[in-house]
Structure 1
Amino acid sequence: MASLSEGLVIAHLGKGIAVELGDQIILCQTLRKLDTVVVGDRVMISQPSPDQGRIEQLLPRRSVLQRPSRGEQIRPVAANLDTIFVVFAAEPDCDFLLLDQYLAICENCNIDAALVFNKIDLPHRESVELELKNYQALNYRLYRVSANQRLGIDDIKQDLRGQTSMFAGQSGVGKSSLTNTLLPDKTLKINSVSETTRHGRHTTTAATLYHLPGGGDLIDSPGVAIFGLAGLSEAQLAWGYREFHPFIGKCRFNDCRHLNDKDCAVREAAENGSIPFSRYQRFLKLREKMPPANRN
């Protein structure tokens, strides 16, 4: 067998996969027997010709982000992420339920999470500040930025170095503005990937990995607005709430649903103010949104 080289998957182009090999980008096909290859994957490729390759092997992932697809299927979206920066804003109104959903998924996927409060140049309600204190008390990093006014951007740039990151959040919160501020030549990079491989149209909804000018990689995935809860069990959802951790083991029953169960330490902690009641209520709402098969 021809010698194999290690590369990094940076985009899907038509039916091909763009793999970065040193300072080269090669359009590759993939072996049918391999699992789905996604942006951020490290792969071993063979090269039958200088500008064409074949993915022969998928290297172990340190993390994988998944989302529900058709039916009950779950498919990977991006691999080897270190941190997901959950973006929300003064407007549209912050959807803390969605924010908790992202955080619960990160807690279960071996991916760090941080919060980005965008559009801080606009007024916002005091109740938002009260909620943010809860997250900061749980040691979630919080960045206050305005992509349009370029406020707080340097702090994020600093922390993006040396890791692979992604922005997530509801539509309208300014993820694209933030990405464009950090990647001023994003369009040129997209075009250069398509031109280098000379194949396949680059679609705007496809995930793409970019090297940031100041260091670090950013996976931009405009088509992934929501990851869903299909992959989580009820116990994993509860584990996704950091403040529940000290109490989960104190519930009377091992399979406690933290609902109306007898001697539920989590519910008692929410009722006596040991954990934020608003977060506990959102946990119950997310539990209701889960597919019935995932609930006890």
Structure 2
Amino acid sequence: MAADLLQGLVIAHLGQGIAVEVNGIIWLCQTRRKVDTVAVGDQVTLSEAGLLQGRIEEILPRRSVLLRPSRGDKARPVAANIDTVFVVFATEPFCDFLLLDQYLAICENHAFGAALVLNKTDLPPSPDIEQELRIYQELGYPLYRVSATTANGLDDLKQALNQQTSIFTGQSGVGKSSLTNALIPDKELKTNTISATTKHGRHTTTAATLYHLPDGGDLIDSPGVAIFGLADMNHNQLAHGYREFQPLLDRCRFNDCSHVSDKGCAVRAAAEQGDIALTRYQRFLKLREKM
């Protein structure tokens, strides 16, 4: 890095500007034309362009990137350098395991760690949900049981979020915002500080924003679930996205096995014999059809 360049962390998009944190201080930056689309969570180098104003010169290498489908065939980066995606769900509204499997398949294909967060544990548990949760835990996905309302289980979740960059996702109504507000009590103050420092007024809540958690770690808050779509995945990647399928994929008779009705399909045979969960295999078929 050149001596006159600074290094910073992208924490928010603000209209035409980008908020970059340099040594704990927020700078308002523009990007040079040669620089690709910058994402929240990116480490960047910048040159000084004025008082707490800069130009982003380069995006430093990313260890992971989450893409949002855009116009045409292009995909825009939304968040970068994520370590773990925490999929939030609850007994109410109805738990959509198809959507949960979709999120996990994307994580398996994009080098993200994945964990499950059952929110609203203050509500009566559902035997059906518990049965499915055992399957995910046997596959090695960590499970955190919490209540944003009563703060039950939040300490364990805070410990898991520590020392890494995380993002929450999940269907609407599961309490992601309540959970984020419980983990970041001064979230509103931090949001206003970003806007005031960069003189851009209140920044839009549709954009991703990175917050430093009080107990350590960073949480990227990104409203909406569209960023976890299947648009940039093919059928082979979907199959790879099911963790229990991975050791079986090379055992299918045909290299281009669809894992639906092909002869000699090791995945379908394993589901029929009870070696892997039939419910997960059936959801794979639904997602494949949906694609």
TM interval, shorter chain, is over 0.9
**Letter aligned with residue 46 of structure 1:** S
Secondary structure, counterpart of 1:244 in structure 2: coil
Query: Alpha carbons of 1:154 and 1:225: their partners in 2 closer, same or farther (altered >3 Å)?
Result: farther
- 2:115–2:141: 8 Å Cα contact kept in structure 1? yes
Tell me what 2:169 maps to: 168
Q: Could you tell me how far apart the structure 2 residues matched to 1:75 and 1:163 are? A: 23
Q: Is 1:262 matched with 2:267?
A: no
Q: Could you tell me how far apart the structure 1 residues matched to 2:16 and 2:7 are? A: 21
Q: Could you tell me how far apart the structure 2 residues matched to 1:25 and 1:253 are? A: 55
CA deviation map 1:170-189 (0-9, x unaligned):
00000001000000000000
Tell me what 1:98 maps to: 99
Q: Is 1:132 matched with 2:133?
A: yes
Map 1:240-279 onto structure 2 (within 5 A). Answer: 240-279=241-280
Q: Could you tell me how far apart the structure 2 residues matched to 1:169 and 1:223 are? A: 8
Which TM-score applies when normalising by structure 1?
A: 0.95
Q: Could you tell me how far apart the structure 1 residues matched to 2:22 and 2:125 are? A: 46
Q: Could you tell me how far apart the structure 2 residues matched to 1:77 and 1:226 are? A: 8
**Letter aligned with residue 289 of structure 2:** E
- 1:15–1:200: 8 Å Cα contact kept in structure 2? no
Q: Could you tell me how far apart the structure 2 residues matched to 1:156 and 1:46 are? A: 38
Q: Could you tell me how far apart the structure 1 residues matched to 2:126 and 2:238 are? A: 28
Tell me what 1:81 maps to: 82
CA deviation map 1:40-91 (0-9, x unaligned):
0000100122321000101110000112233443221100000010000010
Tell me what 2:199 maps to: 198
CA RMSD of aligned residues (A): 1.3
**Letter aligned with residue 144 of structure 1:** R
Secondary structure, counterpart of 1:43 in structure 2: strand
Q: Is 1:144 matched with 2:176?
A: no
Most deviating of 280-289 and 226-235: 226-235
**What is the aligned-residue identity percentage?**
69
Q: Could you tell me how far apart the structure 2 residues matched to 1:218 and 1:82 are? A: 10
Q: Could you tell me how far apart the structure 2 residues matched to 1:233 and 1:271 are? A: 24
- 1:207–1:219: 8 Å Cα contact kept in structure 2? yes
| Superposition misfits of 4+ residues, deviation over 6 angstroms | none
Q: Is 1:29 matched with 2:30?
A: yes
Q: Could you tell me how far apart the structure 2 residues matched to 1:70 and 1:173 are? A: 29
- 2:196–2:202: 8 Å Cα contact kept in structure 1? no
Which TM-score applies when normalising by structure 2?
A: 0.97
Tell me what 1:120 maps to: 121
Cα offset, 1:288, TM superposition:
1.2
Cα offset, 1:124, TM superposition:
3.4
- 2:13–2:40: 8 Å Cα contact kept in structure 1? yes
Q: Could you tell me how far apart the structure 1 residues matched to 2:191 and 2:263 are? A: 56
